[in-house]
Amino acid sequence: MNSDILGNLKEWGKVLELLDSLKQSKKLDEHQTGLARILKYGENWRLLEKVLECGKEINQPEDKFLLEVFNIITDRNIYLDARILALNTLVCLSPRINHKNNQKVSQALVVRKTRNILNLPGPPIFHEAIAKSLEAMTGSQQVEILKSSKRTQRNSIWKG
């Protein structure tokens, strides 16, 4: 269901209470459109962080919500803690992604797009968070090998 009962996001206190209520009643899945709207709105850090925390509880993530979580991860204008929190949410949601309901976002796509972020410049702590997230999503150590080869490439540029 794609209903948005969250109302005016400027009244963030009421929205936070509503999010708590939806989480306790396990009805977050039914309100992913509204959750995605909060992530897209991005004007209130309390709402942003609350939705990312609540998002971990979603059982059947929808494309719109997954894409907004991914947008948080890749938006360099958003503070680092929120981007890392979004990564953690994505790790929780990744195994629950399925191809029912004509979903376009797949677990393989999420892993590939997340892996691509390692090619972009960014703070080392963020790259470590990405590597840990990829390791959790794929269950492999390939990410560490990839990070090591990038360090070697950077070092060889300076020795050039």
Question: Would you list the domain boundaries of the chain?
Answer: 12-159
Q: Express each pLDDT in 22-50 by its tens digit.
A: 999 999 999 999 999 999 988 889 999 99
Residue 95 parent element (H or E) = none
69 three-class SS: helix
Burial class (CB within 10 angstroms; exposed 0-12, middle 13-18, buried 19+) of 52: buried
Q: Where is mean pLDDT largest: 11-15, 92-96, 106-110?
A: 92-96
Contact between residue 83 and residue 133 where contact means Cβ atoms under 8 Å apart: no
**What was the pLDDT predicted at 150?**
53
**What was the pLDDT predicted at 99?**
59
Calculate mean pLDDT across residues 85-106: 81
Tell me what percent of the chain is helix, strand and coil, each rounded to the nearest 5: 70, 0, 30
Calculate mean pLDDT across residues 79-108: 84
Calculate mean pLDDT across residues 134-151: 63
pTM score of the predicted model? 0.79
Calculate mean pLDDT across residues 2-24: 81
